[in-house]
């Protein structure tokens, strides 16, 4: 049975890394004291070791040890043996490229469907969707495919921002960009605002957190869903 937290962000304003999710993470990984961390997204270009240290410090506060997948000679075997998996944020294109390069996109999908608890934030949430076509990140590297895990039947747009009527910015809004996406694609998209997440248990997909989310479907007007809404398409 699938068991996931798909979060918009790792850090909310005024909080430390993952602190707003501490209680949820405890529940998600309640049956293990070790989590396999996939640091491939490398936020700001930091090293895998530096990123793993950040994750380790956050998880140590809830008495969970973090092991970086980059330290294993066989990442596929590491995934199969893992009792929990965390994929952090950063650049989605770098993350997806590395997952394909190490041939672990499909094994990661398989362990998720087999019930291994999974936490994703930002880029780690993007890859839970069908493709990364609605990422906010710059395509600084070209992955073999935009196709990702497909453990939920829609795409994610993390860090979703509403238009600011007071802003003098004349560029595209997030809503405009997703509307453009739907001129070429028919995959639904959910924009998750900061501090909210999607909880997946089996076939149940529920919005959690204090904020509503924005839902986009091809040929339909965007709509809001409130927290605790069961998501179905």
Which residue numbers are catalytic? Answer: 122, 137, 159
CA distance 10 to 18: 5
Q: Please state the separation of Cα 212 from the chain's center in Å.
A: 17
HSE (CB half, 13 Å, CA atoms) of 152?
29
DSSP letter for each residue of 158-199: TT-----TT----S--HHHHHHHHTTT----EEEPPTT-EEE
Contacts of 232 (CB under 8 A, 6+ apart): 205
Three-class secondary structure of residue 6 per DSSP? strand
Please state, in angstroms and rounded to a whole number, the distance separating the CA atoms of residues 210 and 198. 12
The token pair that represents 110 in the structure block = 């398989």
Q: What distance in Å separates the CA atoms of residue 28 and residue 50, rounded to the nearest whole number?
A: 24
- Any idea of the CA torsion for 119, 17, 53, 55, to the nearest 10 degrees? -10
């Amino acid at each position: 049975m699938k068991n996931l937290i798909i979060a918009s962000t790792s850090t909310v304003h005024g909080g430390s890394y993952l602190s707003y999710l501490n209680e949820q993470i405890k529940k998600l990984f309640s049956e293990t004291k070790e989590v396999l961390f996939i640091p491939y997204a490398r936020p700001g270009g930091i090293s895998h070791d530096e990123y793993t240290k950040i994750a380790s410090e956050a998880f140590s506060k809830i008495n969970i040890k973090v092991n970086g997948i980059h330290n294993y000679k066989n990442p596929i075997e590491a995934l199969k043996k893992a009792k929990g998996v965390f994929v952090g944020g950063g650049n989605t294109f770098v993350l997806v490229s590395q997952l394909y390069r190490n041939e672990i996109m499909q094994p990661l999908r398989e362990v998720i469907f087999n019930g291994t608890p999974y936490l994703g934030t930002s880029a780690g949430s993007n890859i839970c969707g069908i493709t990364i076509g609605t990422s906010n990140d710059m395509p600084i590297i070209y992955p073999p495919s935009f196709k990702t895990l497909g453990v939920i039947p829609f795409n994610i747009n993390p860090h979703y921002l509403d238009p600011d009527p007071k802003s003098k910015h004349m560029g595209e809004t997030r809503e405009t960009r997703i509307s453009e996406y739907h001129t070429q694609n028919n995959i639904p998209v959910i924009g998750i605002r900061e501090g909210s997440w999607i909880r997946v248990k089996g076939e149940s997909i529920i919005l959690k957190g204090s904020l509503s989310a924005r839902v986009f479907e091809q040929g339909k007007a965007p709509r809001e869903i409130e927290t605790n809404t069961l998501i179905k398409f």
